[in-house]
Protein backbone atom coordinates (compact mmCIF):
# COMPACT_ATOMS: atom_id res chain seq x y z
CA UNK A 1 0.00 0.00 0.00
CA UNK A 2 1.06 3.59 -0.54
CA UNK A 3 2.22 5.62 2.42
CA UNK A 4 -0.77 7.49 3.86
CA UNK A 5 -1.07 11.25 3.83
CA UNK A 6 -1.30 12.07 7.55
CA UNK A 7 -3.16 15.17 8.73
CA UNK A 8 -4.14 16.64 12.07
CA UNK A 9 -7.75 17.83 12.28
CA UNK A 10 -8.37 21.08 14.08
CA UNK A 11 -12.12 21.65 14.27
CA UNK A 12 -13.71 21.95 17.70
CA UNK A 13 -13.69 18.51 19.31
CA UNK A 14 -16.98 16.89 20.21
CA UNK A 15 -17.47 15.02 23.44
CA UNK A 16 -15.94 11.55 23.31
CA UNK A 17 -18.62 9.08 22.31
CA UNK A 18 -18.92 5.52 21.03
CA UNK A 19 -18.61 5.00 17.30
CA UNK A 20 -21.94 5.39 15.54
CA UNK A 21 -23.58 5.60 12.13
CA UNK A 22 -26.56 7.89 11.52
CA UNK A 23 -28.42 7.35 8.24
CA UNK A 24 -29.55 10.69 6.79
CA UNK A 25 -30.73 9.35 3.43
CA UNK A 26 -29.43 8.17 0.03
CA UNK A 27 -25.70 7.59 0.71
CA UNK A 28 -25.47 10.40 3.26
CA UNK A 29 -24.22 9.22 6.65
CA UNK A 30 -22.99 10.96 9.77
CA UNK A 31 -20.16 8.85 11.19
CA UNK A 32 -18.74 9.39 14.66
CA UNK A 33 -15.52 7.74 15.79
CA UNK A 34 -14.62 9.04 19.23
CA UNK A 35 -13.96 12.74 18.63
CA UNK A 36 -14.03 12.44 14.82
CA UNK A 37 -17.17 13.42 12.92
CA UNK A 38 -17.38 12.48 9.23
CA UNK A 39 -20.07 13.21 6.64
CA UNK A 40 -20.40 10.99 3.57
CA UNK A 41 -21.84 11.84 0.15
CA UNK A 42 -23.74 15.01 1.14
CA UNK A 43 -27.21 15.01 -0.42
CA UNK A 44 -29.67 17.42 1.20
CA UNK A 45 -32.22 18.35 -1.46
CA UNK A 46 -35.81 17.59 -0.51
CA UNK A 47 -38.64 15.55 -1.91
CA UNK A 48 -39.58 16.49 -5.51
CA UNK A 49 -36.35 18.45 -6.05
CA UNK A 50 -34.00 17.41 -8.84
CA UNK A 51 -30.25 16.84 -9.06
CA UNK A 52 -28.00 16.60 -12.07
CA UNK A 53 -26.56 13.24 -13.11
CA UNK A 54 -24.72 14.62 -16.13
CA UNK A 55 -25.32 14.91 -19.87
CA UNK A 56 -28.35 17.09 -19.25
CA UNK A 57 -30.14 14.33 -17.31
CA UNK A 58 -31.66 14.68 -13.84
CA UNK A 59 -33.00 12.53 -11.02
CA UNK A 60 -35.93 13.51 -8.82
CA UNK A 61 -35.81 12.86 -5.09
CA UNK A 62 -38.72 10.91 -3.57
CA UNK A 63 -37.77 11.30 0.12
CA UNK A 64 -36.62 14.01 2.50
CA UNK A 65 -33.26 13.89 4.29
CA UNK A 66 -33.58 13.04 7.96
CA UNK A 67 -31.88 16.32 8.88
CA UNK A 68 -31.03 19.46 6.95
CA UNK A 69 -27.48 20.54 6.29
CA UNK A 70 -27.81 23.44 8.75
CA UNK A 71 -28.49 20.92 11.54
CA UNK A 72 -25.18 19.09 11.14
CA UNK A 73 -22.67 19.16 13.99
CA UNK A 74 -19.14 20.51 13.34
CA UNK A 75 -17.44 18.24 10.82
CA UNK A 76 -13.85 17.06 10.55
CA UNK A 77 -14.08 15.88 6.94
CA UNK A 78 -16.31 14.73 4.12
CA UNK A 79 -15.89 11.37 2.38
CA UNK A 80 -17.21 11.49 -1.19
CA UNK A 81 -17.46 8.36 -3.33
CA UNK A 82 -17.85 10.24 -6.63
CA UNK A 83 -19.17 13.43 -8.15
CA UNK A 84 -22.85 12.93 -9.01
CA UNK A 85 -25.74 15.16 -7.95
CA UNK A 86 -27.29 12.57 -5.65
CA UNK A 87 -23.97 12.37 -3.76
CA UNK A 88 -22.85 16.00 -3.80
CA UNK A 89 -25.81 18.22 -4.57
CA UNK A 90 -26.45 21.92 -5.03
CA UNK A 91 -27.20 22.34 -1.31
CA UNK A 92 -23.81 20.89 -0.37
CA UNK A 93 -22.07 23.06 -2.95
CA UNK A 94 -23.71 26.17 -1.54
CA UNK A 95 -23.51 25.52 2.19
CA UNK A 96 -20.52 23.31 3.02
CA UNK A 97 -17.41 25.05 4.34
CA UNK A 98 -15.02 25.27 1.41
CA UNK A 99 -12.06 24.74 3.73
CA UNK A 100 -13.40 21.36 4.91
CA UNK A 101 -11.21 18.40 3.88
CA UNK A 102 -12.97 16.23 1.30
CA UNK A 103 -11.49 12.79 0.58
CA UNK A 104 -12.52 11.54 -2.84
CA UNK A 105 -11.40 10.38 -6.29
CA UNK A 106 -8.95 12.44 -8.37
CA UNK A 107 -11.71 13.22 -10.85
CA UNK A 108 -14.11 14.44 -8.15
CA UNK A 109 -11.33 16.39 -6.42
CA UNK A 110 -10.74 18.34 -9.65
CA UNK A 111 -14.47 19.07 -9.92
CA UNK A 112 -14.54 20.28 -6.32
CA UNK A 113 -11.47 22.47 -6.67
CA UNK A 114 -13.10 24.14 -9.67
CA UNK A 115 -15.97 25.01 -7.32
CA UNK A 116 -13.71 26.48 -4.66
CA UNK A 117 -13.28 23.45 -2.37
CA UNK A 118 -9.54 23.78 -2.06
CA UNK A 119 -8.96 21.12 0.61
CA UNK A 120 -10.06 18.25 -1.62
CA UNK A 121 -7.79 15.24 -1.24
CA UNK A 122 -7.56 12.80 -4.12
CA UNK A 123 -6.99 9.08 -3.57
CA UNK A 124 -6.22 6.50 -6.22
CA UNK A 125 -7.32 2.93 -5.51
CA UNK A 126 -5.51 1.52 -2.44
CA UNK A 127 -4.07 4.89 -1.47
CA UNK A 128 -4.71 6.08 2.09
CA UNK A 129 -5.28 9.27 4.02
CA UNK A 130 -4.88 9.61 7.80
CA UNK A 131 -6.33 12.10 10.25
CA UNK A 132 -5.28 12.33 13.89
CA UNK A 133 -6.76 13.80 17.06
CA UNK A 134 -5.84 13.28 20.69
CA UNK A 135 -3.67 10.36 19.66
CA UNK A 136 -6.50 8.58 17.82
CA UNK A 137 -6.21 7.91 14.10
CA UNK A 138 -8.82 7.72 11.35
CA UNK A 139 -7.44 6.09 8.22
CA UNK A 140 -9.32 6.01 4.91
CA UNK A 141 -8.24 3.61 2.17
CA UNK A 142 -9.73 3.94 -1.32
CA UNK A 143 -11.08 0.64 -2.65
CA UNK A 144 -12.13 -0.44 -6.16
CA UNK A 145 -15.46 0.58 -7.61
CA UNK A 146 -17.05 0.56 -11.06
CA UNK A 147 -20.16 2.62 -11.69
CA UNK A 148 -21.43 0.79 -14.73
CA UNK A 149 -20.93 -2.12 -17.11
CA UNK A 150 -17.84 -1.83 -19.33
CA UNK A 151 -19.81 -0.59 -22.33
CA UNK A 152 -20.81 2.63 -20.51
CA UNK A 153 -18.41 2.90 -17.58
CA UNK A 154 -16.18 5.32 -19.51
CA UNK A 155 -19.06 7.82 -19.59
CA UNK A 156 -19.71 7.65 -15.84
CA UNK A 157 -17.76 9.32 -13.01
CA UNK A 158 -14.87 7.47 -11.43
CA UNK A 159 -16.05 6.00 -8.14
CA UNK A 160 -14.34 4.66 -5.05
CA UNK A 161 -15.31 2.60 -2.08
CA UNK A 162 -13.65 3.18 1.29
CA UNK A 163 -12.24 1.21 4.16
CA UNK A 164 -12.32 3.32 7.34
CA UNK A 165 -10.09 2.22 10.23
CA UNK A 166 -10.41 3.90 13.62
CA UNK A 167 -7.48 3.20 15.95
CA UNK A 168 -6.30 4.43 19.32
CA UNK A 169 -2.86 4.08 20.95
CA UNK A 170 -3.95 1.77 23.77
CA UNK A 171 -6.71 -0.21 22.07
CA UNK A 172 -5.30 -0.57 18.55
CA UNK A 173 -7.91 -1.08 15.82
CA UNK A 174 -11.27 -0.22 17.34
CA UNK A 175 -13.57 -0.32 14.28
CA UNK A 176 -13.28 -1.11 10.58
CA UNK A 177 -16.01 0.00 8.18
CA UNK A 178 -16.40 -0.61 4.46
CA UNK A 179 -18.49 1.74 2.32
CA UNK A 180 -19.02 0.34 -1.17
CA UNK A 181 -19.69 3.53 -3.11
CA UNK A 182 -21.83 3.32 -6.24
CA UNK A 183 -20.38 0.16 -7.71
CA UNK A 184 -21.54 -2.92 -9.51
CA UNK A 185 -20.16 -6.38 -8.77
CA UNK A 186 -16.89 -6.99 -10.61
CA UNK A 187 -13.81 -9.10 -10.02
CA UNK A 188 -11.66 -6.42 -8.36
CA UNK A 189 -14.03 -6.34 -5.37
CA UNK A 190 -12.67 -9.76 -4.39
CA UNK A 191 -9.38 -8.11 -3.43
CA UNK A 192 -11.17 -6.09 -0.74
CA UNK A 193 -12.27 -9.26 1.00
CA UNK A 194 -8.77 -10.70 0.74
CA UNK A 195 -7.10 -7.62 2.20
CA UNK A 196 -9.76 -6.91 4.80
CA UNK A 197 -11.37 -10.19 5.97
CA UNK A 198 -12.44 -8.65 9.29
CA UNK A 199 -14.82 -5.79 8.40
CA UNK A 200 -17.07 -4.82 11.30
CA UNK A 201 -19.74 -2.98 9.29
CA UNK A 202 -20.31 -2.84 5.51
CA UNK A 203 -22.49 -0.02 4.20
CA UNK A 204 -23.81 -1.14 0.84
CA UNK A 205 -25.04 1.23 -1.88
CA UNK A 206 -28.06 -0.46 -3.45
CA UNK A 207 -31.02 0.88 -5.45
CA UNK A 208 -30.41 -0.73 -8.82
CA UNK A 209 -30.10 2.76 -10.28
CA UNK A 210 -31.18 2.53 -13.91
CA UNK A 211 -30.35 5.17 -16.51
CA UNK A 212 -31.59 4.78 -20.12
CA UNK A 213 -32.19 1.11 -19.38
CA UNK A 214 -28.70 0.43 -17.96
CA UNK A 215 -28.21 -0.58 -14.32
CA UNK A 216 -25.37 1.41 -12.72
CA UNK A 217 -25.59 0.53 -8.99
CA UNK A 218 -26.10 -2.77 -7.22
CA UNK A 219 -29.58 -4.22 -7.14
CA UNK A 220 -30.82 -6.67 -4.51
CA UNK A 221 -29.14 -9.71 -6.05
CA UNK A 222 -25.80 -7.96 -6.38
CA UNK A 223 -26.08 -6.64 -2.83
CA UNK A 224 -26.27 -10.21 -1.51
CA UNK A 225 -23.35 -11.18 -3.74
CA UNK A 226 -21.34 -8.30 -2.25
CA UNK A 227 -22.00 -9.76 1.21
CA UNK A 228 -20.36 -13.00 0.04
CA UNK A 229 -17.35 -11.31 -1.54
CA UNK A 230 -16.65 -8.88 1.31
CA UNK A 231 -17.97 -10.59 4.45
CA UNK A 232 -18.74 -8.26 7.34
CA UNK A 233 -20.05 -8.89 10.82
CA UNK A 234 -22.92 -6.52 10.01
CA UNK A 235 -24.18 -5.21 6.67
CA UNK A 236 -26.32 -2.07 6.50
CA UNK A 237 -28.07 -1.24 3.21
CA UNK A 238 -28.20 2.41 2.13
CA UNK A 239 -28.82 4.29 -1.17
CA UNK A 240 -32.27 2.83 -1.91
CA UNK A 241 -35.79 4.17 -2.61
CA UNK A 242 -34.66 7.83 -2.53
CA UNK A 243 -34.77 8.70 -6.25
CA UNK A 244 -36.98 7.92 -9.20
CA UNK A 245 -34.04 6.20 -10.93
CA UNK A 246 -33.69 3.68 -8.08
CA UNK A 247 -35.53 0.65 -9.45
CA UNK A 248 -34.60 -2.08 -6.93
CA UNK A 249 -36.41 -1.32 -3.65
CA UNK A 250 -35.25 -2.29 -0.19
CA UNK A 251 -38.05 -4.88 -0.02
CA UNK A 252 -36.30 -6.86 -2.78
CA UNK A 253 -33.03 -6.86 -0.86
CA UNK A 254 -34.82 -8.02 2.30
CA UNK A 255 -36.32 -10.91 0.36
CA UNK A 256 -32.98 -11.90 -1.19
CA UNK A 257 -31.26 -11.74 2.20
CA UNK A 258 -33.95 -13.93 3.72
CA UNK A 259 -33.75 -16.46 0.88
CA UNK A 260 -29.96 -16.61 1.28
CA UNK A 261 -30.24 -17.25 5.03
CA UNK A 262 -28.29 -14.09 5.86
CA UNK A 263 -30.82 -12.26 8.04
CA UNK A 264 -28.55 -12.42 11.08
CA UNK A 265 -25.85 -10.44 9.25
CA UNK A 266 -28.01 -7.48 8.19
CA UNK A 267 -29.14 -4.46 10.20
CA UNK A 268 -31.75 -2.15 8.67
CA UNK A 269 -31.77 1.56 9.42
CA UNK A 270 -34.65 3.91 8.77
CA UNK A 271 -33.67 7.42 7.77
CA UNK A 272 -32.76 9.26 10.96
CA UNK A 273 -31.84 6.09 12.86
CA UNK A 274 -28.44 5.63 14.51
CA UNK A 275 -26.50 2.38 14.82
CA UNK A 276 -23.96 2.08 17.62
CA UNK A 277 -20.95 0.23 16.24
CA UNK A 278 -19.84 -2.46 18.70
CA UNK A 279 -16.27 -2.20 19.89
CA UNK A 280 -13.81 -4.95 19.10
CA UNK A 281 -12.70 -7.24 21.89
CA UNK A 282 -9.04 -6.33 22.05
CA UNK A 283 -6.35 -6.40 24.67
CA UNK A 284 -5.20 -2.94 25.72
CA UNK A 285 -1.74 -2.08 24.44
CA UNK A 286 0.94 -1.16 27.02
Domain boundaries, the chain: 16-266
Alpha-carbon 193 to chain mean position: 17
CB 137 within 8 A of CB 131: yes
Over residues 280-284, the mean pLDDT reads 56
> Can you state the percent helix, strand and coil of the chain, rounding each to 5?
20, 35, 50
pLDDT band at 112 (very low <50, low <70, confident <90, very high): very high
Please enumerate in sequence order all residues whose Cβ is within 8 A of that of 220, keeping only pairs 6 or more positions apart, or say none. Answer: 206, 208, 248, 252, 253, 255, 256
**Alpha-carbon span 134 to 166, nearest angstrom:** 13
Q: What pLDDT score does 150 carry? A: 82
pLDDT at residue 1 in the model:
41
Angle of helix 250-259 versus helix 220-229 axis, rounded to 10? 50
CATH code, residues 16-266:
3.60.15.10
Q: What is the pLDDT of residues 7-36, one digit of tens each?
A: 544 333 333 346 999 999 999 999 999 999
Which pLDDT band holds residue 56 (cuts at 50, 70, 90)?
confident
C-alpha 121: how far from its chain's center? 16
Which tops the pLDDT comparison, 210 or 3?
210
Instruction: Evaluate if pTM is beyond 0.85.
Output: yes
Amino acid sequence: MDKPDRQSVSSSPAATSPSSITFIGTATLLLRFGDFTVLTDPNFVHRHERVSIGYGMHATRLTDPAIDIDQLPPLDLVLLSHFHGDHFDQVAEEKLDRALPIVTTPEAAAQLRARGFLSSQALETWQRAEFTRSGDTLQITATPGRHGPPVVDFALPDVMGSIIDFTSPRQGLRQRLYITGDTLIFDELNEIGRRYPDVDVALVHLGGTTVVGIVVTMDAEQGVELMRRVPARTTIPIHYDDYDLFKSPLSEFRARVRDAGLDDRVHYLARGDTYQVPGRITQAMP
